[in-house]
Structure 1
């Protein structure tokens, strides 16, 4: 029986947290426990997991997951589930490497050869989003996501909604499909009006039309529009997801493999969604390990819709960092986008080879990323 000998974590630019697990038979695996803006808290949770699980058999992934979940007594939450995700993803990677197969083989085998993907664009004006949309087209994308609005209060002038429509029109005319992220920053009186204005332009989906805690509002909202409703990055396990499925409140679930307890729980969540005819479009504006893990799940998931992925343009524009997906990988071509798709990685484990030398170098002086602050014209805090 092999034993876990070490669980290490590495804070890296622009805002990611990687995890490495090693065992006494010479095997290793990489995971990602990124929780944007809460790095130190996740590191504290990982310290606790280290104390418990060094010495455990890394093959027993489900036993380790259940032990962490049940013996912690206080379960769930963004911080704990992200730490558990980092450990869980690393264990799946380790097992795939040990057996010489991709993780999707351990999940029952693939049901597709390539995954439809999208990437983010930003910008306040129609000309901004049009320029960034052209960049995404040149990168091979056919689908993008962008903010539905820049800033709205509880009840602003209806004139503020017209800017959202113009930005959507500017990108649609390029031939791109567009998902619109409300970020939970649009309150119900404005969200209802905005959805009606957007509907003729057929966005691919509306993401987080309201904050996820307002399940009754989301259910009501979804009954008033034909645009598919998506959410899920702020749901951390299957019990968080359950009431949304039972209420028929959403059309697409967006679990984040680095936030929801890793590959083990993301796979269970996807299976639950299939039973309710809800598609899965994993959230992932994160690092290469999280993306590789998500692609392994996508490959084996019958109700997969589309995969989010981050690239340098997103972080260069928002976080002034030169680091993107490719800085930490030895085989960056696994993320090449062609005609809107990424091929399913077929290498062992997650299919990614982490540049450990670069990870260790960057992590030496990497400060924790702080969430940006957004305020309305009256100085009140707004959702980011």
Structure 2
């Protein structure tokens, strides 16, 4: 019997954690178990789960391992545990695919598509900078972009601030035209009061979606926000299991879910979440401001679910400036999406080949990334 015999964890810039899982027949699987800004605690959880439940076990029964990792510790859910499980699950599927010589999507029932549409982030401090960046992305071949509409927000905002957010999105819309989709990320920065105002102002600009209009703790307010707009509402990057998504599905106000393959239980769980969403006529756009293993895992799931409609990726994201998405791969071409679409990886497992020497070299810079703390003018902490 093949068994899991060893593992290694590498923290690499800009803010990623890679897991190498090795079996007795020499097969190596890679995963990306991380929550941004908390790589250390997730690494500790990975070590405990592997040493308690996986060492010297057969890697093949992936679903059984998922159940043990999730249910075996009595306390369940949350970002740390689920991110640890996510990376382990990715590595187990990578091993399974490599051992049978097939892409993971073939083991999940086979592909329903040949390629996956990808959107690109646009960045910049000023309206002119954002607009120029959006034009460059469209010239590169992207048919969809995503942008942040605001900085930090007060609980109740001035008309001027609402107009500034509208003007920022309007400038991009005018620059790229109606033939390009423009996603707007509110990043949970708005209260329900401000979110209602923002979606009303953005309505004429026809965004592809408005993402995280409020933080997950206030998801019960999404129904009220949805009454003020026909813009598709997206959320889910800070939800960690099908049970977290269940109330949103049942409420019926969400149009797009954004589970993260490195946060929401890995390939095993996100595929179940996507299938649940299909039953509620909800689309899937996996969250992925992370590295190559997370992105490759996302594409494996997208390949098999008909309600997946677009994929996020981290190239040129403003807070990933210390490390490149493809620099850790010896076959970087598999993550080529320069034309706004990504072909399905044809190699076995996840389809990406990790350059372990590069990973080891870069892991010497293991400083922990952390998000900034933003405050209003009167000193109150606000959402980043």
- Please give the TM-score of this superposition, normalised by the length of structure 2: 0.96
Which stretch has the larger CA shift, 4-13 or 135-144? 135-144
Match of 1:287 in 2: 291
Partner secondary structure for residue 146 of structure 2: strand
Match of 2:3 in 1: 3
Whether the aligned pair in 2 keeps the contact of 1:122 and 1:132 (CA below 8 Å) is: yes
Q: Shift of residue 174 of structure 1?
A: 1.7
Match of 2:325 in 1: 325
- Of 252, 259, 270, which aligns to 2:256? 252
Please list the CA deviations of residues 309-330 of structure 1 after superposition, one character each: whole Å capped at 9, or x if unmatched.
111x22xx43542x21111011
Match of 1:75 in 2: 76
Query: 1: CA distance between counterparts of 2:31 and 2:225?
Result: 37
Q: Shift of residue 361 of structure 1?
A: 1.2
Whether the aligned pair in 2 keeps the contact of 1:215 and 1:249 (CA below 8 Å) is: no
Whether the aligned pair in 1 keeps the contact of 2:140 and 2:339 (CA below 8 Å) is: no
Count of equivalent residues: 380
Match of 1:216 in 2: 220
Q: Shift of residue 302 of structure 1?
A: 0.9
Q: Shift of residue 162 of structure 1?
A: 1.1
Partner secondary structure for residue 367 of structure 2: coil
Please list the CA deviations of residues 145-170 of structure 1 after superposition, one character each: whole Å capped at 9, or x if unmatched.
11121121100211111111111122
Query: 2: CA distance between counterparts of 1:375 and 1:136?
Result: 32
Structural mapping, 1:229-248, within 5 Å: 229-248=233-252
Partner secondary structure for residue 210 of structure 1: coil
Q: Shift of residue 138 of structure 1?
A: 3.7
Match of 1:194 in 2: 198
Match of 2:176 in 1: 174
Whether the aligned pair in 1 keeps the contact of 2:13 and 2:365 (CA below 8 Å) is: no
Please list the CA deviations of residues 122-144 of structure 1 after superposition, one character each: whole Å capped at 9, or x if unmatched.
22321011121123224332211
Whether the aligned pair in 1 keeps the contact of 2:162 and 2:198 (CA below 8 Å) is: yes
Q: Shift of residue 378 of structure 1?
A: 1.8
Q: Shift of residue 370 of structure 1?
A: 1.6
The answer as to 2:232 corresponding to 1:228 is yes
Match of 1:365 in 2: 365
Where does structure 1 differ by over 3 angstroms across 4 or more consecutive aligned residues? 317-320
Whether the aligned pair in 1 keeps the contact of 2:33 and 2:42 (CA below 8 Å) is: yes
- Please give the TM-score of this superposition, normalised by the length of structure 1: 0.96
Query: 1: CA distance between counterparts of 2:313 and 2:48?
Result: 30
Match of 1:20 in 2: 20
Partner secondary structure for residue 145 of structure 1: strand
- Of 296, 300, 303, which aligns to 1:296? 300
Unaligned runs of 5+ in 2: none
Please list the CA deviations of residues 154-209 of structure 1 after superposition, one character each: whole Å capped at 9, or x if unmatched.
00211111111111122122233111111111111111111111000100000011
Query: 2: CA distance between counterparts of 1:113 and 1:223?
Result: 36
Query: 2: CA distance between counterparts of 1:346 and 1:372?
Result: 39
Partner secondary structure for residue 327 of structure 1: coil
Unaligned runs of 5+ in 1: none
Query: 2: CA distance between counterparts of 1:215 and 1:382?
Result: 18
Please list the CA deviations of residues 267-302 of structure 1 after superposition, one character each: whole Å capped at 9, or x if unmatched.
000000000000000000100110000001001111
Whether the aligned pair in 1 keeps the contact of 2:119 and 2:312 (CA below 8 Å) is: yes
Query: 2: CA distance between counterparts of 1:365 and 1:168?
Result: 37
Match of 1:355 in 2: 355
Partner secondary structure for residue 326 of structure 1: coil
Query: 2: CA distance between counterparts of 1:320 and 1:358?
Result: 17
Which stretch has the larger CA shift, 88-97 or 359-368? 359-368
Query: 1: CA distance between counterparts of 2:203 and 2:23?
Result: 53
Query: 2: CA distance between counterparts of 1:363 and 1:121?
Result: 28
Partner secondary structure for residue 243 of structure 1: helix
